[in-house]
Amino acid sequence: MTQLHDLTALEQGELIGAGKLSPVELTEHYLERIDRLNPAVGAFVTVTPELARDQAAQAERELADAQREGRRLSPLHGVPVPVKDLNLVAGIRATLGSAAYAEHVPTVDDHVVTRLRNAGTVMTGKTSSPSSVCRATPRAWSHRPRAPPGTWSGRPGAPAAARPRRSPPGWPRSRTAATAAARSGSPPRPAGCSASSPAGAGSAAGPRSTTSAG
């Protein structure tokens, strides 16, 4: 039987738009999984359950209004989407993966978060980021679980044969970990690797083309 977290973000959005799935129900599903699995996976730096529940309830109200008026909403409307901790969200801590910003709380949303809000997504929290922002192998200054016994934590560049498989695959990459643990869908991936640039939402692996969320 297919579980809610087995669906892609667009599949979840389609069910929400058809009235077959509630944004509140889907959000609670992910919040439960985050609470249960994050201590072992360490993908989330900050979890925002109150904000997520408020946004999910608002998404339901907007959906009801749109259906009554015959309007179409974003294909991601009501879908939970975590935000990488390189992105600024007003009122939510943004560490940028650095101890220097451990208590940094921005007062504005950056352009990616604005577009996600406009698309009607629900923010479940902030996922961890590399300590130097553009580092090829993300290693956040904290927020990372202890490596499971027997896993490799040696020097970069060691022969692949010398590296036992990590658990989950790709650990500790936050987006990979969150998706592997089925605690987030697969939203459009933002671009870039500079926290100060308009493209500062992206993967530490390097720049990517920007994809609109709404």
Average pLDDT per 10 consecutive residues for the chain, totaling 214 residues: 87 94 96 94 93 97 93 94 93 89 92 94 92 53 49 42 42 49 50 35 34 37
Residue type at 190 in one-letter notation:
P
Length of the chain in residues, anyone? 214
Q: Structure pTM?
A: 0.66
The confidence score (pLDDT) of residue 198 equals: 34
Distance CA 28, CA 39 (A): 18
Task: Name the residue type at position 211.
Answer: T
Q: At what angle do helices 9-17 and 23-41 cross, to 10 degrees?
A: 160
State the pLDDT at residue 159.
46
Residue with tokens 């560049």: 157
